[in-house]
Structure 1
Amino acid sequence: MNATINHADLLRLRMRAQGLAGSGAGSSAASATKSGSSRLSGPEKIAATASRMLAMQGQDWRSSRWALGVRTPGTTVADVYAAFNEALVVRSWPMRGTIHVVAAEDIGWMQSLTNHRVLAGAPKRRAFLGITDSLLDRLTETSLAALANGRSLDRDELSAVWTEASIEWQSAWRYHMIWWLCQNGLTVFGPQLGDSEPRLVLAEGWIRNPRSLSGEEALAELTTRYAAARGPIRRKDLAWWSGLTLRETDRGLALATEAGRLVPVSLADDADTLWVEPELLESVGQASTTAGWHLLPAFDEHLLGYTNRDAQLSPEHFERIVPGKNGMFLATVVNSGRVVGTWKRGAGKKGPVNLTPFPGERVKPDAVRPEFERWAGFYGFDDIPLSLADPHSKHPVG
């Protein structure tokens, strides 16, 4: 018979798994122990967080930097940059056709496991864009030649190479071609200059120690590590997050359960079975570890890691996080694991950070300030004002 957890347990376990337990604590004690973080350099700590999370939303480059930092206490944005420049982490498309930040060693086996679904629709997309097979070959060969011998390119530089090669390309082609090169494991976004996005490089040579996993071994690894970094998860969470079929999802859960790497649990008043890492489940009944405030970035895994987010966010507030349901998740103010508002930095070097609580929620700047200062310290910002906005207005009130 499955163990039973309540809804408070679910939230606590998810926060611990996410590395968000405690007020401004970043990585939980358990994850710090696993990564041996006390012995690691700053960039290595960032890479350990990326590895523990398996893959983190990366379409918004600025947000993904703090997603790493908030889970890695004592690091700065310079450590994130160094982790990229030291080839410890990369930015690419591991699954679902969505760009993520991934530990460099993991990107290859993840793509091998998930590519059969995302690549299947590529020919139809190229037909719509007008990219013939011969053009695809020429664009690919030209791109790879330009990246040879350790060279890196940003997006504009890559398309300039096509122009120099007398290829009459169209603007809509660039995203598809970069995706195609990365999705096939030919390239990744690796080195980073200034505060700009990482630059495109050849995967071979940049990734020094790729892991080699395939078949059921890879399926069990993805299933286990996804659940270990998200807390109790549902079958449909895994299927959506990974982009795998329900049949593959069920097999992954069965493999992980048979190996003792995950255990099924029941949620009170809920018919769904959830799966959780046994070590994490042992923390049920311990003192609450969700207390405290967090300023989480846009597109954070705290919400995007699941299909059912009710534990973290009241459904009636969903449109305040994703205005117009346009897929653009805003940065969130979180108290004791629950989303209670949004936050945004104003324009300019000294632009204020404005907190906008949900109606009926109380957000006090003094309570948020320690986490705000941790965010500012991560980026090296000085004298940034912190303001509270009226939830019924777009204007800050103090």
Structure 2
Amino acid sequence: MDLAALRDLRLRVQGLRQPPDASAPESVQRFGAVQAQEFVPAQWGLAQRIPVEDRPDAASTRADLDAGRILRTHVLRPTWHFLHPDDARWVLELSAERVHRANGSMYRSTGVEGDVATRALYVVVAAVAVGHRTRAELAGALAERDLPSKGVPLTYVLMLAELERLVISGANAGTQRTYAAFDERVPPSKPRDRADALAELAARYLASRGPATHRDFASWSGFTLTDSRRAFSDAVEQADAAGRPITTVDVDGVDHHVAASALEDASDSGSAASGAPRADLLQAYDEYIMGYAPPRAYLHRPGDAGLHAEFPLHALMIDGVMVGRWAPPLATGAPKVRIVPWRRFTAPEQRALEASVTEFSRFHGADVSIAVEPETAPG
């Protein structure tokens, strides 16, 4: 399989082409965990993976978050992720120990350890026990007791509370995010065996991001290469036993795992690249970009330098290849999508871009125009 075929298959498996019939919460569950560093752009990324006729707008996605049908917390590498409530407990239990080790030096340097950490967690738990609380409200409660309440130390207090399954995302308070009691938003479940949980996460990863390697999974999840190799092996064994085989494809001499059904579906449907071009306005941390290990050669043309997330600019794609950057409308002024192209677009590509902006406008519930800047070199 060459890079063009890999690109096409990943677009399909990711749901960016012929998305499965699923709601936003169901899409999150299919992925296992979805990177959500940037709150609103990440919601757009979810909507893009839902069929156009059923695609939610921003208000509907926010309603899912407010109601707790989608949750957001620090997990895995760690960074912000969306999780389904049925998965939040076991995914956090699986990754918390490793994240705590990674955070160890920061806990020490910020003073969030020992008695200070214990007292801080007690304050946070008491605050969310009577309602959802903003970061500022939790900071105020901590400050009253001379506990870490500002900047990086506050960040690590709250992350510690998340990893200990004491708090998780609550309903928005206007434009501010809140924290809620973990057990209020996450249903109870029995502890899972670590190997089984890791295999389940790997299976979800492959079902939503294949073809991929265990190195890709390690880069995305933060687990070691040894853990990731074992997780892939267990996931393949369990899938075979369940009659849902996972196979391998050779991409430039490297074996990549993918569900056999995904290969069959792609063969039945034909190549997406054979028709009119498709443009995608992907958020900078989209799973199509950040779900794999660098250098991510599938994202660019041969000879181009490696690409990376560059928030607040996002990734402008034509048929899965990055051809520029884009930025959503500013909070003030006329609503315009800013386009920073790396090359001149053909007429069909321009039409594809306009169609993608129309979908973006529909998601946000406002007419958005396009402001195209002069061509610039990739960077």
The TM-score with structure 2 as length reference comes to 0.88
Question: Counterpart amino acid of 2:359?
Answer: R
Structure 1 distance, partners of 2:245, 2:219, is 19
- 2:184 corresponds to: 205
Task: Note the residue ranges of structure 1 that are not aligned, 5 or more in a row.
Answer: 23-27, 38-44, 394-398
Structure 1 distance, partners of 2:350, 2:279, is 11
Question: Counterpart amino acid of 2:300?
Answer: L
Structure 2 distance, partners of 1:337, 1:239, is 23
1:367 aligns with 2:352: yes
1:13 aligns with 2:9: yes
Instruction: Quote the offset at 1:315 in angstroms.
Output: 6.9
- 1:157 corresponds to: 137
The percentage of aligned residue pairs carrying the same residue is: 23
- 1:25 corresponds to: none
Once the two structures are overlaid, the 10-residue window that deviates more, 258-267 or 248-257, is 258-267
- 1:42 corresponds to: none
Structure 1 residues 329 and 253: alpha-carbon distance in aligned structure 2, compared to 1, 3 A threshold: farther
Structure 1 distance, partners of 2:249, 2:16, is 23
Question: Counterpart amino acid of 1:297?
Answer: Q
Give the counterpart of 2:28 among 50, 53, 59: 50
Instruction: Quote the offset at 1:209 in angstroms.
Output: 5.6
Q: Could you say what the CA RMSD is over the residues aligned between the two structures, in angstroms?
A: 2.4
Instruction: Quote the offset at 1:229 in angstroms.
Output: 0.7
Q: Do the aligned partners of 2:326 and 2:337 also contact (CA within 8 Å) in 1?
A: yes
Give the counterpart of 2:120 among 135, 139, 142: 139
Question: Counterpart amino acid of 1:140?
Answer: L
Structure 2 distance, partners of 1:118, 1:251, is 19
- 1:389 corresponds to: 373
Give the counterpart of 2:339 among 349, 355, 360: 355
Once the two structures are overlaid, the 10-residue window that deviates more, 253-262 or 216-225, is 253-262
Once the two structures are overlaid, the 10-residue window that deviates more, 334-343 or 137-146, is 334-343
Once the two structures are overlaid, the 10-residue window that deviates more, 366-375 or 343-352, is 343-352
Instruction: Quote the offset at 1:75 in angstroms.
Output: 0.8
1:1-398 aligned at under 5 Å gives the runs 5-21=1-17, 28=19, 31-32=20-21, 37=22, 45-72=23-50, 73=52, 74-149=55-130, 151-167=131-147, 169-194=149-174, 196-208=175-187, 210=189, 213-259=192-238, 260=240, 261=244, 263-268=246-251, 270-286=252-268, 287-289=270-272, 291-308=277-294, 309-314=296-301, 317=304, 321-322=308-309, 328=311, 330-347=313-330, 348-359=332-343, 362=346, 365-382=350-367, 384-392=368-376
Structure 2 distance, partners of 1:77, 1:134, is 42
SS state at 1:311 partner: helix
Q: Do the aligned partners of 2:340 and 2:373 also contact (CA within 8 Å) in 1?
A: yes
Structure 1, residues 62-117: CA drift from partner, whole Å, max 9, x if none? 21111111112321111111111221111012211111111121121112222221
Task: Note the residue ranges of structure 2 that are not aligned, 5 or more in a row.
Answer: none
Instruction: Quote the offset at 1:213 in angstroms.
Output: 3.3
Question: Counterpart amino acid of 1:8?
Answer: A
Structure 2 distance, partners of 1:191, 1:100, is 16
Question: Counterpart amino acid of 2:56?
Answer: T
The TM-score with structure 1 as length reference comes to 0.84
Structure 1 distance, partners of 2:219, 2:148, is 37
